[in-house]
Amino acid sequence: MTEHDSPDDGVSEQPTDEDPVRTDETPVRTDGGETGIVPPDDETPTWSERKERRQGLARTTYEYFERSRREDQDLREESDYVERDVLGFPTWPHEVVRNLALTSFFVGMLVFLAAALPPHIGAPANSGVTPPTILPDWYLYWSFGLLKLGPLNPDLALLGDQKLMADRTFGVLANLVVVGAIAVVPFINKGSARRPVEQPFWAAVGVFGVILSVTLAALSIKNLLPLDSHLLFDLTFLLPFVGAFITYAALKSMREGYMFELNRRYYRLRPPK
Amino acid sequence: MSLERPDDHDHDAWMEKRDFSRVERMYLTVLIWFDKRLRIVDYLEILEGLYYKVNMQMPKSHTEQYGLDNKFWYWYPLYALGSFSTLAYIVAAISGALLGFYYSPGALGASGDPTIAYESLTFIMTDLNFGFMLRSIHRWAAQVMVAAVFLHMLRVYFTGAYKEPRELNWLLGIVLISLTLLFGYSGYLLPWDQLAFWAGQIGVEMSLSIPLIGEWVAQLIFGGFTPNPATLQRMYILHVFFLPFVVTTLIAVHIAIVWMQGIAEPH
């Protein structure tokens, strides 16, 4: 604290009694380089100095910045990462040429599709004639199928077999439930496991979702499918469970061998101390 | 010796003293003119710093450290889906802007007679040079974008890439996929053919079935309780004005977060 003495800055004198943690050690430079913006006196205040000029929440913020910088520094010092001895691939030409090649290939594929399978247009809008099949685009079939879940809408004996909400309200609510379920996944499933074999349950949940979206899409076009509609409705909810159970069983039985391989490779590279 | 102090900031005198070529002198004159007014040196300095920072030496990545390159690159196509959806978005934006030169969203009446929107589409597809192809490209770019976004989400789920430090980006991705579907839906209504009209009917009924605020939502988004000219107008503004700004911004934030956090590699 005392090595950068600022003569006419009375405020920085007060909190010298603070920060007793690192006074005896070698001072670790926790402030990262320059900010890029040059203040008038050509001397960017460090975070310690800024901290000393602040009160309350702002001060707490700078204290936290110092701490996180120190954490980074410590982690960097104890890390045994091997630094690269060359810079990464230059952006030009290596990365740019590769990306341009991939991009042109992809755009070419789009143009080819567009030329080979051009879309056509139907009859103009007419509120008087209801077409035999009303369908959204294919990517909304799953949502459209969720609107047809009327038979699942619970009717309460208490209300004299009345339904709690209209069937279509139930369908819209089902959409919200699906989106909400997807949104909470990262807050439930944490940890460093990445491969499906490491977590058969979550892989099974994923397969359940994929198959459900496909069967819901099939349900939404039930009048086009040569299948009894009751059977289709049952299959819509049965098939996802079947798929999930098969996935779970398969991954569970694969898991032992996989984890053995994974651990062996890991410990060969980083033998336990 | 004059009493006037020598002016350190007299750039003209400095230029006279140095023996600059004509090109250099012109360049410096322009640069100094702008710098006196905008102080662009500061910004150039920041840019220079950024340049060196993006080329900074990075620590070895996880895949390099543990020799998992073969495992990683085998799955590489699945890791390109996010880029592919962005590319398809750009293609759709360019072709859509060109289509917008010729499309007009008017729907006179939905009672059997062709409407302005439908007629402008007929013009694009039959009379306009390259128009059929343009619409085809726009539509396929949209289809491919939606497909790539779905597959991207599956990839992220099955490789566990949504886990701990990346929850925010997962949520942002859910918002983006919903907006992509909304983009597709609003675009689907624009031709104002039979399919568009009745898809609009489904949309109106969906919003009407929301408890309490249903009618208000239907009025706001569809401009009525049945598909009508106002519906087409609103879908047009959503499709070409509102959604492009929002989605482009969110895609930029999404990619920026990926840049900051790095790719979640499998291990």
DSSP notation for B201-241: HHHHHHHHTSTTTHHHHHHHHHSSSS--HHHHHHHHHIIII
CB B232 within 8 A of CB B120: no
User: For residue A109, what are the contacts with CB-CB under 8 A and spacing of at least 6?
Assistant: none
Greater pLDDT, A229 or A202: A202
Q: State how far residue B51 is from chain A, nearest Cα, in angstroms.
A: 11
pLDDT tens per residue, range B237-249: 999 999 999 999 9
The domain spans of chain B are 1-56, 79-261
H or E element in which residue A267 lies? helix A229-269
pLDDT tens per residue, range B92-112: 999 999 999 999 887 665 554
Predicted local distance difference test score (pLDDT) of residue B100? 94
Q: Quick one: average pLDDT of B16-39? A: 86
Average pLDDT, chain B: 85
Predicted local distance difference test score (pLDDT) of residue B220? 93
Q: Is the pLDDT score of B206 beyond 50? A: yes
Predicted local distance difference test score (pLDDT) of residue B169? 94
Residue B148: name the closest of B175, B174, B177, B185 by CA: B177
Predicted local distance difference test score (pLDDT) of residue B165? 84
**High-pLDDT (> 70) share of chain A, %:** 72
List the alpha helices (DSSP H) in chain B.
11-17, 22-38, 40-54, 62-65, 69-74, 76-79, 81-100, 116-126, 131-158, 167-189, 194-208, 214-222, 229-237, 243-261
pLDDT tens per residue, range B49-63: 776 666 554 445 555
CA dist B22 and B153 (Å) reads 57
Predicted local distance difference test score (pLDDT) of residue B15? 83
Mutation test of the interface with chain A: which of B70, B79, B138, B197, choosing the one with the most A Cβ atoms within 10 A? B197
CB A30 within 8 A of CB A69: yes
CB B99 within 8 A of CB B134: yes
**pLDDT band at residue A49, thresholds of 50, 70 and 90?**
confident
Q: Which residues of B touch A118 (CB under 8 A)?
A: 132-133, 135-136
Nearest CB to B59; choose among A83, A171, A195 = A83
Predicted local distance difference test score (pLDDT) of residue B3? 67
Predicted local distance difference test score (pLDDT) of residue B49? 72
Residue B182: name the closest of B267, B243, B127, B101 by CA: B243
**High-pLDDT (> 70) share of chain B, %:** 84
Phi-psi region of A213 (alpha: psi -120 to 50; beta: other; left: phi over 0): alpha
Question: Is B209 close to A121, i.e. CB distance below 8 A?
Answer: no
Q: Is the pLDDT score of A2 beyond 50? A: no
Residue A236: name the closest of A220, A248, A256, A253 by CA: A220
Question: Is A190 close to B146, i.e. CB distance below 8 A?
Answer: no
Q: Which residues of B touch A250 (CB under 8 A)?
A: none
Q: Is the pLDDT score of B18 beyond 50? A: yes
Instruction: Pull the structure tokens for residue B192.
Output: 């104002």
Question: Is B60 close to A84, i.e. CB distance below 8 A?
Answer: yes
Mutation test of the interface with chain B: which of A121, A147, A179, A266, choosing the one with the most B Cβ atoms within 10 A? A121
**pLDDT band at residue A23, thresholds of 50, 70 and 90?**
very low
Q: State how far residue A213 is from chain B, nearest Cα, in angstroms.
A: 11
Q: Which residues of B touch A139 (CB under 8 A)?
A: 143, 146-147, 150, 181, 184
- Fold of the CATH domain B79-261: Cytochrome Bc1 Complex; Chain C (1.20.810)
ipTM of the complex: 0.73
Q: Is the pLDDT score of B34 beyond 60? A: yes
Q: Which residues of B touch A165 (CB under 8 A)?
A: 211
CA dist A53 and A15 (Å) reads 9
Phi, psi of B8 (to 5 degrees): -65, -20
**pLDDT band at residue B224, thresholds of 50, 70 and 90?**
confident
Q: State how far residue B84 is from chain A, nearest Cα, in angstroms.
A: 8
Instruction: Pull the structure tokens for residue A142.
Output: 């799953």
Q: Quick one: average pLDDT of B204-218? A: 87
For chain B, what's the residue count? 267
**What does pTM read for this prediction?**
0.75
Question: Is B194 close to A125, i.e. CB distance below 8 A?
Answer: yes
Q: Is the pLDDT score of B17 beyond 60? A: yes
Mutation test of the interface with chain B: which of A106, A142, A264, choosing the one with the most B Cβ atoms within 10 A? A106
Least confident of A76-90, A150-164, A231-245, B250-264: A76-90
pLDDT tens per residue, range A138-197: 898 998 888 888 777 766 665 666 676 777 788 888 889 999 999 999 999 988 888 888
Q: Which residues of B touch A195 (CB under 8 A)?
A: 159-160, 266-267
Predicted local distance difference test score (pLDDT) of residue A78? 77
CA dist A118 and B124 (Å) reads 13
